[in-house]
């Protein structure tokens, strides 16, 4: 070969390599932006079906989560028991507290759980609501959804080590403040983070044990309270003396986060069948777990509203059953916070993993440990918890509620848009309502969202809006980072292309648009 010919060949090879690099460099952006495909480009999405043996162990050789642990993972994502509902009585009295938990369950929890069941089975992969919003509204809004909900979850998780120490400081006064308390928060965070690192199945069965242990003392306390019940106490109400901000935030905080379980749907055994069933059982468990102690305890002892603050159920336990029941309930309260922590961290970290697998975050966020857990996601979530643990209880609740509301608005829009634009898309579970019925279903929770956001303090509002604006800057910044090849982004080959879904098992039927 002549020198000129060799030079030409090398130049051609270099051009080909450069073209190939450009293609690889833009893969994640191109596929992520596919959410903007026009109607005529719709295709069905196939989530590969697997046999039973493969279903029970994921692609990383890690056992998948079965229905019983999944129920209690949802239970702890949403509730963890009646600890913390006492403020509803302080804010509004027994009647409004009981009515509030019943009414909010109907207008908020039920719609959110139903939407999670439909959308979670439509897109049974890690990332959950981020994938729903990306599919309906595009990658920019999908990222905003992920940013707001992840930040809300981390803020929420910062609460649980603090609550745990609040329960045990009566026995160990040194944990009430200062350096010992700070060290205790760090030690708890590290220990519980390690549990998440070891595997989701371990977290799930720990949640089962903690859930049973936490609910049993309330069941016993309710039985003891029955002979002392005076029904007239249920009717106590003073509309002129209601702290509506505390009342609504307490109800909302204790009845939301049903959608959090969707972020780890890819780790669930047969999610198309298991997820809807687990959500329905968890709904009964959560709402019953709130109403049972409220109904029995508010009628069994005289109601002094000022006494009904966080932790007052343990005082009621002492009045009704004595020191043994008081100690049992305090231990249950402390351990329940640990259950809340590990399940919330699982949801947050798998969300980051799911976003990385969709090319929205750098590839290193998709890295798994040898136990199949999202290593980098866990580390980032733990760091966020430590960073935010200085906030007060009420500030934490208000801030996380505000960010959570922003994310829920995007979810509602995505849910309705997918119903309207793609009514024939395969939905393994579908809410038995038409488009008009679906719109009517989300009107009450949307009004509630607006009210909760309006009741936020100016400080919480400003901080939350600033946090959301960070997401508006962060997404285009990450796109720029990818174009400059400063970090590697990729989309998992195991995932189907967005935006549209067909998830019928064992078949792929083109989506009718």
- List, for residues 254-270, the tens digit of each pLDDT value: 998 999 999 999 999 99
The rounded distance, in Å, linking the Cα atoms of 141 and 414 is: 10
pTM: 0.85
Mean pLDDT of 41-63: 53
What is the spatial distance between Cα 174 and Cα 180, in angstroms, rounded to a whole number?
6
Domain membership flag for residue 4: no
Q: Are 70 and 273 in contact (CB under 8 A)?
A: no
Q: Say yes or no to pLDDT of 448 above 60.
A: yes
* In 230-277, beta strands by DSSP E: none
**Segment (H or E) for 326:** helix 323-357
pLDDT of residue 56: 53
- The Cβ-side half-sphere exposure at 395, using a 13 Å CA radius, reads 13
**Number of C-beta neighbours around residue 206 at 10 A:** 21
Residue 310 domain-assigned?
Answer: yes
**Residue 389 — pLDDT band, cuts 50, 70, 90?**
low
Number of domains in the chain: 1
Do the domain assignments include residue 422? Answer: yes
**Domain containing 337: what range?**
67-484
Q: List the structure tokens of 70.
A: 């999944």
Check residues 447 and 509 and name the one with the higher pLDDT.
447
Average pLDDT over residues 488-493: 90
In this predicted structure, the answer to whether residue 144 has a pLDDT above a threshold of 90 is yes
Residue 500 belongs to a domain: no
Q: What single DSSP character describes residue 362?
A: -
Instruction: Answer yes or no: is 499 within a domain.
Output: no
Choose the weakest-confidence range: 97-111, 212-226, 383-397.
383-397
Has residue 186 been placed in a domain?
yes
CATH number at residue 126: 1.20.1740.10
Give the per-residue pLDDT at 57: 56
Q: Is the pLDDT of residue 21 over 70?
A: no
Instruction: Assign 172 a pLDDT band (cuts: 50, 70, 90).
Output: confident
Binned at pLDDT 50, 70 and 90, residue 75 comes out as very high
**Residue 216 lies inside a defined structural domain of this protein:** yes
pLDDT, residue 60, reads: 63
Report the b/e string of 353-382 with b at 16+ CB within 10 A.
bbbbbbbbbbbebbeebebbbbbbbbebbb
Q: How many whole angstroms separate alpha carbon 344 and alpha carbon 408?
A: 17
Structure confidence by residue, pLDDT tens digits, 273-330: 999 999 999 999 999 999 999 999 999 999 999 999 878 898 999 999 999 999 999 8
Looking at 58-67, 230-239, 244-253, which range is the least confident one? Answer: 58-67
Q: Tell me, rounded to whole angstroms, the distance of Cα 78 from its chain centroid.
A: 8
In a domain, 512, yes or no: no
Q: If you average pLDDT over every residue of the chain, what do you get?
A: 83
Which parts of 138-270 fold into alpha helices (H)?
139-157, 159-168, 178-198, 200-225, 244-255
């Amino acid at each position: 070969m002549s020198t000129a010919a060799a030079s030409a060949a090398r130049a051609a090879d270099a051009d080909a390599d450069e073209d190939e690099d450009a293609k690889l460099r833009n893969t994640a952006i191109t596929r992520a932006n596919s959410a903007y495909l026009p109607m005529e480009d719709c295709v069905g999405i196939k989530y590969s079906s697997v046999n039973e043996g493969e279903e029970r162990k994921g692609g990383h050789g890690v056992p998948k989560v079965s229905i019983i642990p999944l129920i209690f993972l949802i239970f702890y994502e949403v509730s963890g028991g009646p600890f913390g509902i006492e403020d509803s009585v302080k804010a509004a009295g027994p009647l409004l507290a009981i009515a509030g938990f019943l009414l909010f369950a109907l207008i908020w929890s039920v719609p959110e759980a139903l939407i999670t069941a439909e959308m979670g089975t439509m897109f049974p992969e890690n990332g959950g609501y981020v994938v729903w919003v990306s599919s309906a509204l595009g990658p920019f809004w999908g990222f905003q959804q992920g940013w707001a909900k992840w930040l809300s979850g981390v803020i929420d998780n910062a609460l649980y080590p603090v609550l745990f120490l609040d329960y045990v400081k009566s026995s160990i006064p040194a944990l009430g403040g200062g350096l010992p308390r700070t060290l205790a928060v760090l030690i708890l965070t590290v220990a519980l983070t390690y549990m998440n690192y070891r595997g989701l199945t371990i977290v799930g069965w720990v949640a089962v044990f903690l859930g049973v242990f936490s609910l049993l003392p309330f069941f016993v306390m309710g039985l003891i309270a029955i002979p002392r019940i005076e029904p007239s106490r249920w009717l106590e109400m003073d509309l002129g003396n209601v702290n509506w901000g505390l009342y609504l935030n307490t109800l909302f905080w204790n009845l939301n986060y049903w959608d959090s379980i969707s972020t780890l749907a890819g780790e669930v055994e047969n999610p198309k069948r298991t997820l809807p069933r687990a959500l329905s059982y968890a709904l009964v468990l959560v709402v019953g777990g709130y109403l049972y102690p409220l109904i029995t305890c508010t009628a069994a002892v005289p109601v002094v509203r000022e006494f009904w603050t966080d932790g007052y159920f343990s005082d009621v336990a002492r009045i009704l059953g004595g020191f043994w029941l008081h100690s049992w309930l305090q231990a249950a309260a402390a351990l329940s916070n640990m259950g809340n922590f590990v399940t919330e961290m699982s949801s947050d970290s798998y969300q980051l993993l799911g976003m990385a697998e969709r090319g929205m975050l750098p590839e290193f966020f998709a890295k798994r440990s040898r136990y199949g857990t999202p290593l980098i996601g866990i580390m980032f979530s733990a760091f966020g918890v430590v960073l935010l643990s200085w906030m007060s209880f009420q500030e934490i609740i208000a801030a996380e509620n505000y960010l959570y509301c922003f994310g829920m608005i995007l979810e509602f829009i995505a849910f309705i848009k997918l119903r309207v634009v793609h009514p024939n898309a395969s939905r393994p579970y579908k809410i038995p309502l038409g488009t008009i019925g679906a719109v009517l279903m989300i009107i009450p929770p949307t009004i509630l969202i607006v009210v909760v956001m309006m009741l936020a303090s100016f400080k919480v509002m400003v901080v939350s809006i600033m946090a959301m604006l960070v997401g508006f800057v962060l997404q285009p910044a990450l796109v720029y980072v990818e174009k400059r090849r400063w970090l590697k982004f990729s989309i998992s080959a195991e995932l189907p292309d967005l935006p549209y879904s067909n998830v019928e098992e064992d078949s792929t039927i083109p989506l009718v648009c």
